[in-house]
Each structure stands twice: as structure tokens, then as C-alpha cells.
Structure 1
């Protein structure tokens, strides 16, 4: 058991539930002190923090912030101070927060600036600016940055998701660029999920059962992945001290057969 005062610290954006929460739990089991970032899911974040603090007191804290803080220096400074103030250091930064929705371009519908700004903010701009703002603290710990990407961000775009595809492709290039720019003091890697979490059933992205079956049929391993599969790869990259600039696809083999244009 690591002494609490010397235990490494991980910040995961958008980690109140789903994949983000799985990463937080996996890191906590490895004796990390965890910072659970959220914006709208405050009750879920606090519940997760309480659960982890029951296991190991004073090992989890909640950080509430809209990622648009990156657009104002004073708000960004407040975010950084809160992040470092939680435990006094930062060893791992995981970019998990993301917005995901279609932006079809047809004779009837069009892509607007609000969609562009929101999708690029969460999937490209915020990961870059937060990495820059927190860089001195990561360098002090010889730490690492990990981005959650998408198997569709590389040559196999979703149909009707043009802006999301572009933003995730930018984030993928950010991983590779920062791996060069920040070496040797900070490692930078990515994890690209396939279908590891289905959209929530009460959301506007919910999938019909027939479509879910079709998705499973397209996956060589013949099953939907789990958030824990992503968390396992993130923990591997945290510990892999000679790996940087790499992107691990965690998709059950789906990328081998996917032609693009489908969910």
C-alpha cells in the first residue's frame, strides 16, 4: 500500500460515470489519489468520490468545471489551482471528456458555429490548452498524458458526424505532436475505443435493438466492449515508461473490418 502523502495523482476529465469513472476506479485500485472532474454530473461525481474515500480516506476529490474555462485566463488559472490544490501534485492527466453528436450537411440542414465550437472545444482545444496549463506540474513528476480518441478518427469517419470526426482527428494529431514536443519529460499516448459503451437509452443517441445486434455482428470478438477494457489500457500506458506517441485501439477487432460510414 502506497503512503497516501506520496501516492501519485491522476486527473480524469469527464469522469463522473461511464468510461471516465472506470478509469478513476482502476487508478484508485492501483493506489492513485484521484481527481474526478465533472460539469453537469455533480451528484454522480460526489457519489463516486464518497465511495472511493470510504475505501481509502482522503484519496478522492471532485473538481467541477465547464471546459470552456480554457477560453478565459482567470478561469483557467482557477482550474489549474484547484487541480493542483487537491493533492499538491499531478502525475497523470487523462482527457476523457467529450461531446458526441451528428452534424449532417444536406440541402435541408447545415453545420453551425455553435456545433463547431462545442465539438472542437471538448475534443481538441480543451485537451491541448489543459495539457499546456498543467505541463509544469506533469514535468515535475515525469508524468504522462493520455487522450481518449476514437477508431473513427483515422481514415474511417462516421457518416453525418463531420465535425466530430474532424475534432477527434485533431486530437489524435495532438497526441502524436505532443509526444515529440514534450519528450523526454512527459509521455503522451492515446486509447481509441470502438464500441465500448453504448449511448444511454434515454439520450437522443439511443440505438434500436436491431442496430445494436448489427453492431455486435460487425465486431470480430462478437460482443460490446466494457468501460473496464478502456481503463485497463489507460493503466497500461500510465505504467509503460518506454511508450510514447502511441495509440491503442480497443475495439474487439472492429477496425479490421470497418469500412467507415457506420456507427
Structure 2
């Protein structure tokens, strides 16, 4: 049975029909694929972006071409007030928020010896503090409706570390701890909180790696290839539909970290 078939109910409707989802950093790469996948299974998706309005609109158009519905909303989610405005926009437009995918992220890779305070703070703000900003702004809404799916896009680097990535690793590891603790607090209230830890996925970020370094990385991956953004999106879809999985880290890394 195909993935599409398993996400269609007997009456022909889609399992996420009527659900409202926000995807931060949804204009490109993994975020764009997550937005498209959720929309293809019935959710209305708010695609958050900060610096890429044209890319975000292209994702909306791709979704519309497939019969789905999505809108864009600009917000720098590393800023609490702007995160609140994104939540307010979504609630005013659609009346509720059912699914939050905390995907926004940046890198500022340097060895720790050379890492500036600015490098540190920028990565922590975008990758970790944004998770607090977005989740704290939506959690009461989810508690009131007794339903919510919070999915945090962490990383293999938050589990195993990465050379020159102490800031990124700290932020992504923090997301895992956040996930487990919030899951404990909300498990009896209809809310699940999970993390996905991608390995090396074929995105612009990975493509920027030097060819020699990238090939050495691929050689270490047991399945012998980079992951695809769609494979992360399918994991998000799985967790968005699940009712009995919470507080977990779903590793999608080709066996690189077990």
C-alpha cells in the first residue's frame, strides 16, 4: 500500500483535512517539502519565511497546483513578538492551529576557538529560541482545544556532535530536551510533542560542503546515499497523524547514527 493510500480515509477524505499547520522556515529545502506533504494530505498550511518571499510564494503555488491550500506569512521567529504575530495571523485567518512544525534553522560553522559571541547567539536564537517563541505562543490554544501536534526538526548533529558546530549542536540538542520535557507535561492533554533528527539530507546547506568532505560523509552512511527532503517530510506526516507517539526522536539518517 502506498503512502498516499494509507493517508486517505474510507470515505475518500484525507486524514489531515480540516487541520491547520504552521511550518517555520517553510520556503525552501526540508521546510518546503514538509509544507507540500502536509497540504497534499489535507492540511491548510501557513508557510513562514523571513528572507525569501518569492520562494515562499512558489511553494504556495506548487501546493495550489496540486489542489491544496497554503498561505505565506513573514516573521522572524527568533523574535518573540514576531512569533506571536505569526500565531495571531494564523488564528485570525483560520480560527485555530493544530500542527506546529518548528523547522527554522541556520548555521554559522566555525571551530569553537574562532566562534564569536554573535555566531553563537545567532544560531541559538534561530534554532532553539524560536522553538520556545513559537511553542509558548501556541500552547494555550492547543491545551484549550485538547489537541495539538508539535514536531521539532532537530538534527543528527544534536545527537553525535559535529566538528565546527558547537553552536548548532547545542541548539539541536536543546530541542531534543525541550521535546521530551514538554511531551511529559502535555501527554494527557491531547498534545503530542516529538522531534525528528535528520542525517545528511540533499539540501542547499549540504550541497555547499566541499566535494571531498561530502563524499567522505556519504561513504560513512550505511545506506550509501544522502537523504531526500521528502523523506523528512514523510516522517513529519507520520508524527502529525500519530496519537500514541510522544516524547520521541525519530532518526532519519540512513543508519549513520544508531
Task: Decide: shared fold, TM above 0.5.
Answer: yes
Gapped regions of structure 1 (runs ≥ 5): 257-263
Aligned partner of 2:127 among 108, 117, 123: 123
Q: CA deviation at 1:136?
A: 2.2
After TM superposition, the score normalised by the length of structure 2 is: 0.88
Q: CA deviation at 1:66?
A: 1.1
Aligned partner of 1:227 among 210, 229, 251: 229
* Partner Cα separation in structure 1 for residue 64 and residue 36 of structure 2: 11
Are residues 1:143 and 2:148 paired?
yes
* Partner Cα separation in structure 1 for residue 83 and residue 39 of structure 2: 26
Q: Secondary structure at the match of 2:78?
A: helix
Gapped regions of structure 2 (runs ≥ 5): 1-11
Over 3 Å counting, the alpha-carbon distance change for 1:68 and 1:190 in structure 2 is closer
1:69-106 per-position Cα deviation (integer Å, ceiling 9, x unaligned): 31x4xx44423211212321111000000011213233
Partner of 2:46: 35
Give the root-mean-square deviation of aligned CA atoms. Answer: 1.9
* Partner Cα separation in structure 1 for residue 84 and residue 242 of structure 2: 30
* Partner Cα separation in structure 2 for residue 129 and residue 183 of structure 1: 20
After TM superposition, the score normalised by the length of structure 1 is: 0.86
Q: Within 5 A, what are the aligned runs for 1:1-263? A: 2=13, 7-56=18-67, 59-70=69-80, 72=81, 75-106=82-113, 109=114, 111-139=115-143, 140=145, 142-154=147-159, 156-185=160-189, 186-200=191-205, 206-256=208-258
**Number of matched pairs:** 243
Q: CA deviation at 1:141?
A: 5.2
Q: CA deviation at 1:233?
A: 0.8
Dislocated runs of 4+, deviation >4 Å: none
